[in-house]
Amino acid sequence: MALLPILEFPDPRLRTRAREVVEADFTPDFQQRIDDMFETMYDAPGIGLAASQVDFHLRFMVIDVSEDRSEPFVFINPRITAHAGTQVCQEGCLSVPGITADVKRHDRITVSALDRQGKAFELEADGLLAVCIQHEMDHLDGKLFVDYLSPLKQEMVRRRLSKQRRAHAA
């Protein structure tokens, strides 16, 4: 297994719309990429990681919102088929380190996807899991949680990250 570099905002590669995973993509290398993404996510530490965040632009993501890392999910070609309610949740992102903001999301969703073996499944999710799924799906469409912020707040995020990078490099 290997830790993968995570792209950071405002890297333009984060704006790439990921392509659908097709049957030919289910290779041993693809399975290794999934394992590497889990290792990277847990090490960061985070609760979700989209392939786009590690510069692999296929429509899949890994998620584990459990405290003890016991509920790993792989979602390949995820689609939200139903939703209800809304919630505002304080979100952060491995691609926007050290920054959080309130984002309005659906409170309950039904998502259909393929698992890591290519088998179709459907999952009803609410709370943190629902938020995480929506957040990671945004990445697959080239969208980040900062896109929900005002232009002024987006610029503040850019400046703060730039300052953090300069301090880290020094």
Please state the residue numbers annotated as binding site for Fe cation.
Answer: 93, 135, 139
Residue numbers belonging to the annotated binding site: 93, 135, 139
The one catalytic residue among 23, 67, 136, 155: 136
Is 136 labeled as catalytic in the residue annotation?
A: yes
Peptide bond into 45 cis (omega under 30): yes
Peptide bond into 72 cis (omega under 30): no
Nearest residue to 164 via CA among 99, 92, 106: 99
The whole-angstrom separation of Cα 51 and Cα 140 is 7
C-beta of residue 131 within 8 angstroms of C-beta of residue 109: no
3-state secondary structure of 11: coil
The whole-angstrom separation of Cα 1 and Cα 4 is 9
List, by residue number, the catalytic residues.
136
